């Protein structure tokens, strides 16, 4: 019975968080988000989860002066590589999470109250992608939410891509590769109730976090634009 209660309450909680965030005063002066689209699923035949989120931002003024391409690339790399640190923001996780360095991996996302490792990340790396200003990938290498296959080096990764056409910006984030959430269990095909549990909890939470992350990146970019001589 507990999974059903969780399924019902979590979407309502996420909706409330999104509404509260939308109603907060915004420092957005130069850009507006035209759209945010996402799709995410868990393949019952393989137990592999995937997602793709895309935000399209357009400038409020057509003649907006932007930083140079090299400055934008440097900025995007910094923001994308620091995604794990974004997860510990108090406004996002209410202080319940913190990121700790790891000798075995790059860093661990842990709970603040109990020493529980939620997710482990490998070192971010730059991936060359055509028609993109910048693309960064962060490997997922372990943690409570991830099922690690000892016979495979690919446990999935988070991918972040910055596209820009003139002054219009498109941010794309993905869960790519062979990421298998622990909520899917070890049985293949994945039981219906486990698929429903993942899709109604962790999947929705991930989309909310990415929606916030896209907005945070844009807000920081606006600051750089305003400071651009």
Q: In three state form, how does the secondary structure of the chain look?
A: CHHHHHHHHHHHHHHHHHHHHHHCCCCCCCEEEEEEEEEEEECCCCCCEEEEEEEEEEECCCCCCCCCHHHHHHHHHHHHHCHHHHCCCHHHHCCCEEEEECCCCCEEEEECCCCCEEEEECCCEECCCCCCCEEEEEEEEECCCECCCCCCCCCCEEEEEEEEECCEEEEEEEEECCCCEHHHCCCCCCCHHHHHHHHHCHHHHHHHHHHHHHHHHHHHHHHHHHHCC
In a domain, 159, yes or no: yes
201, part of any domain: yes
Residue 8, domain member (yes or no): no
Any domain includes 2: no
pLDDT recorded at residue 6: 38
pLDDT confidence of residue 113:
87
Per the CB < 8 A criterion, the answer to whether 203 and 210 are in contact is no
- 59 lies in some domain: yes
pLDDT of residue 28: 55
* Domain tally, the chain: 1
Q: How much is the pLDDT for 151?
A: 84
Whether residue 211 is contained in a domain is answered as: yes
* Residue 82: Cβ within 10 Å count: 15
Positions in the chain whose pLDDT score sits under 70: 1-28, 229
Give residue 29's pLDDT: 72
14 found inside a domain: no
- The CATH number assigned to the domain holding 191 equals 3.30.530
For residue 68, how many other CB atoms are within 10 A of its CB? 9
pTM summary value? 0.88
Task: Please give the residue range of the domain that contains residue 153.
Answer: 33-39+47-227
Which residues are paired to 170 by β-bridges? 56, 163
Residue 26 lies in a domain: no
């Amino acid at each position: 019975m507990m999974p059903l209660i969780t399924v019902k309450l979590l979407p309502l909680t996420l909706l409330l968080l999104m509404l509260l965030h939308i109603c907060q005063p915004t420092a957005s002066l130069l850009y507006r988000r035209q759209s945010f689209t996402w799709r995410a699923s868990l393949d019952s035949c393989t137990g592999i989860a995937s997602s793709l989120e895309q935000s399209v931002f357009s400038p409020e003024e057509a003649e907006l002066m932007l930083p140079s391409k090299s400055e934008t690339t440097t900025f995007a790399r910094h923001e994308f590589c620091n995604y794990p640190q974004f997860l510990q923001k108090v406004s996002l996780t209410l202080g319940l999470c913190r990121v700790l360095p790891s000798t075995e991996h790059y860093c661990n996302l842990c709970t603040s109250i109990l020493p529980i490792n939620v997710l482990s990340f490998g070192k971010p790396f730059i991936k060359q992608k055509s028609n993109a200003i910048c693309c960064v990938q962060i490997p997922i290498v372990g943690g409570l939410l991830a099922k690690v296959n000892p016979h495979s080096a690919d446990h999935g990764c988070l991918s972040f891509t910055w596209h820009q056409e003139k002054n219009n910006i498109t941010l794309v984030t993905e869960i790519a590769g062979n990421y298998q959430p622990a909520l899917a269990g070890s049985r293949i095909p994945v039981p219906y109730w486990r698929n429903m549990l993942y899709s109604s909890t962790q999947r929705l939470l991930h989309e909310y976090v990415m929606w916030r992350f896209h907005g945070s990146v844009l807000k920081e970019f606006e600051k750089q634009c305003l400071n651009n001589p």
